[in-house]
Amino acid sequence: MDTLGHMDETRTQVHDTIIIGGGVAGLSAALMLGRARRDAVVIDAGAPRNRFAAHMNGVLGHDGVDPAELLRSGRAEASAYGVTFVDAAVRRVDHSGSGLAVTTEDGATRTGRTVILATGITDRLPPIPGLAQRWGASVLHCPYCHGWEVRDRRLGVLATSPMALHQVQLIRQWSDDVVFLAAGAGDLDDDVRARLRARGIRIVDRAVTEVLGAGDDLTGVRLDDGDVVELDAIFTGGVPEPHDRMLEPLHLARADGPMGDLITVDAVGQTSDPHVWAAGNVVSPNANVPVAMGAGSFAGAAVNARLVAWEFDEALERSRVQA
């Protein structure tokens, strides 16, 4: 293997880029790289974050579309430019010479000059019976994605952290019948309570013990004293669990912030490793579909620019040796 990650093709293939994750961020990166005539492969475990939602809202040109349909068309578009796809989960990524070895759960290893991580997150919800089973249907997260569909209905905001104070104020934009289920928000001082009540938000301090309803439909919540609060939908935020453990062998820089312990990236998604980029929810849990798509596009273009620079460096070095 040379200094840029190339190896003799008779020994093994080295891809320009291996993209881990085939959601909108990964597919956007793949499309950019395919159009740049790069040898890119996408390894996808097939479990996008928004797979629980039947419709994708607030996405220009795709409003109301099934998110699975966007992924199908995205795969077809990237494939048309020579991007290849592998349906598998990645176990680990290791340095290999000056490239990266990506090992999947079946033991197969592929080598790339660069890697883009776009694996997303899992939203870990409180263990309240009836909550997780309605995630994406009547238990919701993003008001910009789902608020219009439940406008003017009885809405609850289930606090899982102090950040719920921001969420409950947002939700008031879509309905004047809002209940703040505040037990998980920490202590609310008098000024905060007054602020919420000034906009007609009811505050319930007792803990929720069960989410009630039939199938995907929600009818309310049961409190720890047995009382029931009737509701039509709940907004809440799970604890984001980024799918990035496969990069642990690379010892990338991380930062612990309001959304948890995340890999740090610059404006185009580059990590502390010059061969690794990350884009989408895995490093930005609050990113919606358009933001994740944009981040993937930037990462794909940045990777191509890095590869271009390496290739010119290599050519210059060869010309100096031959001179």
Look at residue 224 and tell me if it is in a domain.
Answer: yes
Segment 17-39 mean pLDDT: 98
Look at residue 25 and tell me if it is in a domain.
Answer: yes
Alpha helices in 80-110 (DSSP H): none
Cα(87)–Cα(98) distance, integer angstroms = 26
Contact assessment for residue 125 and residue 27, using Cβ atoms and an 8 Å cutoff: no
Please tell me the predicted confidence (pLDDT) of residue 255.
93
Residue 262 DSSP SS3: strand
Q: Which of 236, 256, 275 is where one domain is finished?
A: 236
Look at residue 318 and tell me if it is in a domain.
Answer: yes
Q: Tell me the pLDDT of the chain averaged across its residues.
A: 92
The number of domains in the chain is 2
Residue with tokens 């293939």: 13
State whether 119 and 143 are in the same domain: no
| For the chain, percent of residues with pLDDT exceeding 90 | 82
State whether 88 and 18 are in the same domain: yes
Q: Which of 236, 262, 277 is where one domain is finished?
A: 236
Q: What confidence tier does 9 reach under pLDDT thresholds 50, 70, 90?
A: very low
The string of pLDDT tens digits covering residues 236-263 is 988 889 999 999 999 999 998 877 799 9
Whole-model pTM: value is 0.90
Cα(19)–Cα(42) distance, integer angstroms = 5
State whether 250 and 230 are in the same domain: no
| For the chain, percent of residues with pLDDT exceeding 70 | 95
Q: Positive or negative CA dihedral for 228, 230, 233, 235? A: negative
Segment 130-157 mean pLDDT: 95
Higher pLDDT, 143 or 48: 143
State whether 74 and 163 are in the same domain: no
Please tell me the predicted confidence (pLDDT) of residue 315.
96
DSSP state of 207: P
Look at residue 6 and tell me if it is in a domain.
Answer: no
DSSP state of 270: B
Give the residue from 274, 298, 303 showing the smallest Cα distance to 284: 298
Domain that holds residue 67: 14-123+239-322
Q: Positive or negative CA dihedral for 43, 88, 275, 277? A: positive
**Helix or strand (DSSP H, E) at 321:** helix 289-322
State whether 117 and 245 are in the same domain: yes
Q: Positive or negative CA dihedral for 268, 307, 47, 62? A: positive
State whether 24 and 109 are in the same domain: yes
State whether 148 and 203 are in the same domain: yes
Q: What confidence tier does 49 reach under pLDDT thresholds 50, 70, 90?
A: low
State whether 138 and 210 are in the same domain: yes
Cα(70)–Cα(19) distance, integer angstroms = 18
Residue with tokens 């996808």: 44
Residue 6 reports pLDDT greater than 50? no
Residue 5 reports pLDDT greater than 60? no
Please tell me the predicted confidence (pLDDT) of residue 269.
98
Cα(76)–Cα(69) distance, integer angstroms = 11
State whether 159 and 260 are in the same domain: no
Residue 17 reports pLDDT greater than 90? yes
The two tokens of residue 121 are 């997150």
State whether 67 and 211 are in the same domain: no
The two tokens of residue 260 are 């948890």
Q: Which of 10-24, 199-213, 233-247, 297-311 has the lowest mean pLDDT?
A: 10-24
Estimate the crossing angle of helix 24-35 against helix 289-322, to 10 degrees. 40
The two tokens of residue 32 are 């950019």
CATH number for position 135: 3.50.50.60
State whether 139 and 78 are in the same domain: no
Residue 40 reports pLDDT greater than 70? yes
State whether 252 and 153 are in the same domain: no
Q: What is the CB neighbour count within 10 angstroms for residue 189?
A: 9
The two tokens of residue 215 are 């199938």
The string of pLDDT tens digits covering residues 261-312 is 999 999 999 999 999 999 999 999 989 999 999 999 999 999 999 999 999 9
Look at residue 3 and tell me if it is in a domain.
Answer: no
- As a whole number of Å, the end-to-end CA separation of the chain is 23
Q: Which of 50-59, 141-150, 271-280 has the lowest mean pLDDT?
A: 50-59
Look at residue 9 and tell me if it is in a domain.
Answer: no
Residue 4 reports pLDDT greater than 60? no
